[in-house]
Structure 1
């Protein structure tokens, strides 16, 4: 499971990185807003830890971009021990607001609790929806059928369902999944979606399910999930 850590204190960032690596996580560390914005994605994060005070900005300002680009929980880590800052962070939509200095064991407990909570929320939100996501295990099921997605395919599905029923533009999906800004020519995201559509078509044709999942292209707007009830089409 992968974590992004955005923290300018190099010593603290290294300590957190080493500790979480020992707990079985993988982790990308960014020491500034610029570092994060210039990075090329290696893995898609299951959780993001973001410091509030950064040398070239702050986590509150960065939060909107993080939450737009990623579907995972975001928590703030800061030395600002004030009710006002705490309230602001939570009101933005962060899952938690942790005060430095923080014991590694407590950080780990918080991370595990948030990931469990996020999984339960995903499952609860989808009780009346045939598509179920498990963010921790990076697994997706449609009407109980495992979709067997790779990491980028899971992120495409997760991001589309997060924004459903509205379509998501190619530019946003490209940044979310590929990890860099869309230059107007690169067809990488279109290729991934094309392969994912073929995988879904093959899966449901073999299962002969009464409902199927597809990704629909909406002209001039992008892509959105399309749930088809084959019984209605007969």
Structure 2
């Protein structure tokens, strides 16, 4: 059956210079079916915006290299991308100023992440987009003699007993299967596998790759399916045939 891509998740850019706020927030939003990229300053934000489009930008007002209010004004003039301002200041004058400069919403630190999810959904609705968690889709992949089902997380191969993968191994394999013959640095793997796991690190990725490599090692040829590129990351050396069942 031909491959039918799932509807794209809303793309959110989180711009905040505090890593302890930025990274956990990104992980939380990924858990709620958003596709998230992050930037720690205005320069990083503009760099990402040169190459990618986003549905919503969550922008901290106090950045080391730019005033969030002025940045919001610039974003409003350059594009129609909605902006939610994120700030520690709760003065009515600041809220009014942000909204006057084109912000679509305003949220004050500290806040509950679920409040931001609600505000993101509200902004998306106003933009004519709906966002609800997608129902699980049973997808199968064929590669190097293996067949993999995302629903059961089971690897099958002719002449071999079924191989059950853990949740983390299944998620990691899906990333490789969606990016065959592509070098994936550890940082990229962390970003792509963090959707349902808040405790992903370089060491955790290395351990998961090692376990997955052992399960794929049906014969000497298969040992090299998951290749380590020293100083670069990992690569699945196989052609992949995806389909939706």
Structure 1 length-normalised TM? 0.49
Structure 2 length-normalised TM? 0.47
User: Highest Rg: 1 or 2?
Assistant: 2
- The structure with higher relative contact order (CA 8 Å, sep 6+) is 2
